[in-house]
Amino acid sequence: MAPTRREFLKIAGVSAIGLVLPPLPSLTGAQAGMPAAGVVSPAVPKPLPALTAKRWAMTVEPRKCRPGCTDCITACHLEHNVPDFGNPKDDVHWISLERVEHIFPAEAHPRLPESITKLPVPALCNHCENPPCVRVCPTQATFKRADGIVMMDYHRCIGCRFCMAACPYGSRSMNYRDPRPFIRKINPAFPTRTKGVVEKCNFCEERLARGILPACVIACKDKALAFGDLEDPRSDVRLILDKGLSLRRRPDLGTGPQVYYIL
């Protein structure tokens, strides 16, 4: 006897589910291997062990910067293929030099001496302890690692720019155009980004994994930038912070920034 419409639909539904289910486990692509010590690859020399920390942080001492120096910016942008679009509208930068009254609006006042007001202050992503950008990201394309670094997953980013609205520090840049033609000198050891995603400083996590410090820290000839583990009492950053007063940007907002400024 021919099936009723109801029976037919039931069978069709079950069959459809049966067709979809089997390939599902393989879609998860569970292939991750175990991280092994002593990474070996035919053409690459034996690398340094990765730098690890419980809580990465950076200290900045603008008083040490020599006037007109932009070595940290140049090093960072070269290392990471950050484009130069040549106009403020499309501008992408991971680190920039700003004025004291813009970085510390609450602390600055009209009677600060020129020795302070003319200081160039490096500004970058603060890799906050309580990052609002991570909170608002609808795809978790930006996320916080256990060691404190706020990461960007450029594969997952949909370019909604909610993170840019949420960041109280102006640390993030959107690729409003294809960045490739605007990269002065491509560093083949690091990918570029594509148009339509938001990017920012990553505390050089790929260099930390290779056992070297961030590009800006190494490039600074005046040693104005220090980088290390806040939980290690003998790290560079702790030694500097233990010396006296340090400031963070907009601490009243509760973001817990991890870039500390000593003026």
Contact, 56 vs 220, CB < 8 A? no
Q: Which of residues 74 and 194 has its CB atom nearest to another protein in the complex?
A: 194
**Closest distance to another protein from the beta carbon of 191 (Å):** 4
Determine the longest span between alpha carbons in the chain, in angstroms: 96
**Closest distance to another protein from the beta carbon of 210 (Å):** 9
Name which of residues 107 to 126 contact another protein (CB under 8 A): 123
Which residue do the tokens 């690692």 mark?
A: 145
- How many Å apart are CA 236 and CA 238, to the nearest integer? 6
- 256 contributes a contact to another protein by CB under 8 A: no
Q: Which of residues 137 and 224 has its CB atom nearest to another protein in the complex?
A: 137
Q: Coil, strand, or helix at residue 40? A: coil
- 31 contributes a contact to another protein by CB under 8 A: yes
What is the DSSP-derived secondary structure letter of residue 26?
H
Tell me which residue of 195, 169, 182, 183 sits closest to 261, measured CA to CA.
Answer: 169
- 205 contributes a contact to another protein by CB under 8 A: yes
User: Which uninterrupted H or E stretch holds 219?
Assistant: helix 215-219
- How many Å apart are CA 260 and CA 58, to the nearest integer? 6
Instruction: Please select the residue that binds another protein; options are 11, 14, 140, 232, rule is CB under 8 A.
Output: 140
Which residue do the tokens 């998860």 mark?
A: 28
Tell me which residue of 91, 256, 60, 73 sits closest to 172, measured CA to CA.
Answer: 91
Residue 21: Cβ within 10 Å count: 9
**Closest distance to another protein from the beta carbon of 217 (Å):** 20
Please identify, among the stretches 9-17, 27-35, 61-69, 211-219, the one whose residues bind another protein according to the rule CB under 8 A: 27-35
- How many Å apart are CA 216 and CA 230, to the nearest integer? 19
Q: Which of residues 59 and 171 has its CB atom nearest to another protein in the complex?
A: 171
Name which of residues 207 to 226 contact another protein (CB under 8 A): 209
Cβ-defined contacts of 105-108 (< 8 Å, 24+): 106/250, 106/252, 107/247
- 22 contributes a contact to another protein by CB under 8 A: no
Name which of residues 146 to 175 contact another protein (CB under 8 A): 151, 153-162, 164-170, 173-175
Please identify, among the stretches 25-33, 62-70, 72-80, 234-242, the one whose residues bind another protein according to the rule CB under 8 A: 25-33
- 194 contributes a contact to another protein by CB under 8 A: yes
Q: Which of residues 13 and 105 has its CB atom nearest to another protein in the complex?
A: 105
- 54 contributes a contact to another protein by CB under 8 A: no
**Closest distance to another protein from the beta carbon of 212 (Å):** 14
